[in-house]
Amino acid sequence: MSATLVVIGHGMVAHRLVEAVRSEDAGETWRIVVLGEEDRPAYDRVGLTSYVEDWDAGALELPGADYAGDPSVELRLGDPVVEIERETQRVRTASGYSVRYDAVVIATGSRPFVPPVPGKDLPGCFVYRTIADLDAIRAGVESAVRGKGRAAAAVVGGGLLGLEAAKALRDMGLSPHVVELAPWLMPVQVDEGGGGVLRGLVTSLGVTVHTATSTESIVRDRGRLRANLSNGTELDVDLVVFSAGIRPRDDLARNAGLAIAERGGILVDERCRTSDPAIYAVGECAAIEGTVYGLVVPGYSMAEVVATGLLGGEAGFPGADTSAKLKLLGVDVASFGDAHAVTEGALEVVVNDAVRGTYQKLVVSDDASVLLGGILVGDASEYTLLRSLVGKRLPAEPVALLAPEGSRGAGAGIDALPPEAQICSCNAVSKGALTEAITVHGCDSVSALKECTRAGSSCGSCVPMLGALLAASGVARSTALCEHFPQSRAELFEIVMATGITTFSALIAGYGKGTGCAVCKPAVASILATLGNEHVLGGERAGLQDTNDRFLANMQRNGTYSVVPRIPGGEITPDKLIVIGEVARDFRLYTKITGGQRIDLFGATVDQLPMIWKRLVEAGFESGHAYGKALRTVKSCVGSTWCRYGQQDSVGLAVELELRYRGLRSPHKLKSGVSGCARECAEARGKDFGIVATEQGWNLYVGGNGGAMPRHARLLVSDVDREWLIRIIDRFLMFYVRTADRLQRTAPWIEELEGGIDHLRAVVVDDSLGICAELEDAMARHVESYQDEWKGVLEDEDKLARFTSFVNAPETPDPTVSFRSEREQNVPVLLGVPSVGGR
């Protein structure tokens, strides 16, 4: 019979412990009971700030954290442990639940430190630690801004957590003040020079910084709060958020009589055992030989150590890698190794570039041969490489490692790292282990390396190094479009644009081989349509299309087609609604309102399509391109026109954008949405490009999608006006159309860009490649030359001739198509499919 392991707490470290035990134990050794205080499974607390982007708690959940289908793990949530009875070896929870244990792991984490400031408990004062804390802050923000202009907030603490809180508040539309007792921001991670650069970067982003001062008191003042600082400054704010550090949650251990470290934390040995051999402690509540580590990576190491011990092995805590790479308020900050040069005789090499807004420091041995640590502010692109070199001989002069790209000394790169260099600190994966996965186990992609070694599956900062390792090992992903074209889709796009080629036959004759296939023909047709914007059924282009594009409608499972007229922004007049109803009635079509705020008409045969289009076109409708790899819809809420929460005219903008980008042929379908406020009724942040209104203008998010692999869109620009917003969208869409692979949605396209969203922002916002004018011109040509594809068929007898069920008997209806009635509508009769509810 298996023994019982009780895990108290269900955060990231506790989940890693359960995973580690279960990966080696099929339930024969341990039955695991996990007791969580929060009412949700373990989630990514490191990425907590991203919760503000979409308020989707599910996006933070850790994979498998609910242990569904695992009979050896029992998870109880929302029921904190209140007592550990060591004599009877029982754990009791607040609800009265009791379980006997053979071993206990305490993983209660830490609590926010709130300085003893008078007024800290006033309404409007919050802490920043959990999803529930952010929900409370959000409610406080909504209450504060109701009926006012832009609200303000004070963040007590200018360390890592404080700046994360400031970002969250800024993303919620507040003007944050950061108050830090130390002379500079993030004093634990960076030195005075780095702190100075960081302050300048943070201030430029709209955050007011107060250093070398403390908060003496908080008082109510005319319906707001006033934070009185020790330097005499008075801050009139609407909220105060305490984010001044953490304290280990060791109360359970204290009450159970376990040994506590001198400065707090449950005292444990190198095997993470407490003074009771049946009880372990891991994570931020544990003090290994007196030291508490407030980072997740040391916590993961502790979890692995305990799991090994519970399964009969022996392992000791290997020491903590306190290196960290962060992006705070969009600013890169990283520190690693002996960042503050405490090693005797250590030398410092500093590059402080005020023009670029970067600060880089390397700490090296007294003979400048060994890297000891470093600090990076403003540009942390070399963090993974440099951190991996700590304790090793430098492959180049220190200053060469910090030189701008293009002037870096020889030998600085992935090849310079020895096999034992740790590439992924989160999961302790070395370069040697990754190389073995590539050369021995056949991993030929980043995703395969993640699955095989877990490298890159936590914080993701090492993912660029995984790609570099693949390239260094000779693994190169083919970019050929298909067997007929050795070029990628993006390369073919450039060829067509440069040569002016207008036909598939000319392109394959000059740059490919054979006659083409179902892969390259539609892809080239899309490129030709984008650059020439001619009718997709004109000339030889008709033969290049797949079934849907060939008939400008979506084929359904019974061989009929659906017709989707464009309804920009979901806005439609009563007269047009009547026309759709009459068409559906007269042709006996099944009707359904789609998730994109349109009306889908199902059941049309090929020969009926032109007759249906004629009725719709005469009423002012046009093709909604539901069949094409093109813009589908721009969904909208009612915005400021009707909604009392609306901040901008979301309907007007949605209509303008849908009409502007209609017919734009692209590598994959495109969806968009415009929400009139942060309540996000249009679900804009689940779209390829989504816009959310703010008091100051619009926020643009890109790279989202639903489907089998959902993605949340990421913020590209914020608080921009309508004109600038549309220019950036123009650039974004044309850059995507030019450079994405065939059938690649915007989300994976951005993920595969070297530099990701930051590179995209540099290209389409800052014009780093100098192509923005060209992208805007290309979009302008598309807008000016747009023609409705349905109307183009109706006006051309040759194109109309394609729309017959039987070429030799064009008047004969398709005898294979039949319908039955269900819920008062026609639905197809399908062989082998039983009728449900039909009559």
Span 656-670, average pLDDT: 93
Closest to 216 (Cα-Cα) out of 140, 156, 153, 126? 156
At 150, the pLDDT band (50, 70, 90 cuts) reads low
Mean pLDDT of the chain: 86
pLDDT of residue 151: 83
Q: Where are the alpha helices (DSSP H) in 148-226?
A: 160-171, 192-203
Strands 371-377 and 698-702: unpaired
Is 70 exceeded by the pLDDT of residue 630?
Answer: yes
Residue 411 region, left (φ>0) first, then alpha (ψ -120 to 50), else beta? Answer: left
Q: Could you give the strand order of the β-sheet that contains 599-604, starting from the edge strand earlier in sequence?
A: 554-555, 561-563, 599-604, 590-593
At 382, the pLDDT band (50, 70, 90 cuts) reads confident
- 586/567 Cα distance (integer angstroms): 21
Span 242-246, average pLDDT: 90
pLDDT of residue 447: 67
Domain ranges of the chain: 3-111+248-310, 125-244, 413-477, 489-551, 554-785
If you classify domain 554-785 with CATH, what class do you get? alpha beta
Architecture of the domain made up of 413-477: Orthogonal Bundle (1.10)
Is 50 exceeded by the pLDDT of residue 407?
Answer: no
pLDDT of residue 818: 64
Same fold, 125-244 and 413-477: no
Residues at the binding site for [4Fe-4S] cluster are: 637, 643, 677, 681
Residue 835 region, left (φ>0) first, then alpha (ψ -120 to 50), else beta? Answer: beta
Is 90 exceeded by the pLDDT of residue 544?
Answer: no
Span 611-624, average pLDDT: 93
Least confident of 447-456, 570-579, 696-705: 447-456
Least confident of 420-424, 716-720, 758-762: 420-424
At 148, the pLDDT band (50, 70, 90 cuts) reads low
Q: Where are the alpha helices (DSSP H) in 420-460?
A: 431-439, 446-453
Check if CATH label 3.50.50.60 holds for domain 3-111+248-310: yes
Is 80 exceeded by the pLDDT of residue 695?
Answer: yes
- 379/376 Cα distance (integer angstroms): 6
Share of the chain above pLDDT 90, in %: 46
pLDDT of residue 813: 55
pLDDT of residue 806: 45
pLDDT of residue 253: 96
pLDDT of residue 106: 98
pLDDT of residue 283: 94
pLDDT of residue 679: 84
Residues at the binding site are: 637, 643, 677, 681
Span 715-739, average pLDDT: 94
Token code pair at residue 467? 């790609």
Against a cut of 0.85, is the pTM above it? Answer: no
> What is the 3-class SS of 637-666, one letter each residue?
CCHHHHCCCCCCCHHHHHHHHHHHHCCCEC
Span 413-424, average pLDDT: 73
Check if CATH label 3.80.10.10 holds for domain 125-244: no
Share of the chain above pLDDT 70, in %: 91
Is 60 exceeded by the pLDDT of residue 474?
Answer: yes
CB neighbourhood size of 123 (10 A) = 10
Q: Look at residue 504 and give its three-state secondary structure.
A: helix
- Model pLDDT for residues 105-126, shown as the tens digit of each residue: 999 999 999 999 999 999 999 9
pLDDT of residue 458: 65
Helix (H) or strand (E) holding 797: helix 797-800
Residues at the binding site for siroheme are: 681
Asked whether the beta carbons of 120 and 114 are under 8 A apart, the reply is yes
Token code pair at residue 108? 């209660």
pLDDT of residue 302: 94
**Tell me, what DSSP letter sits at residue 460?**
-
Higher model confidence: residue 717 or residue 449? Answer: 717
Helix axes of 131-145 and 160-171: crossing angle, nearest 10 degrees: 40
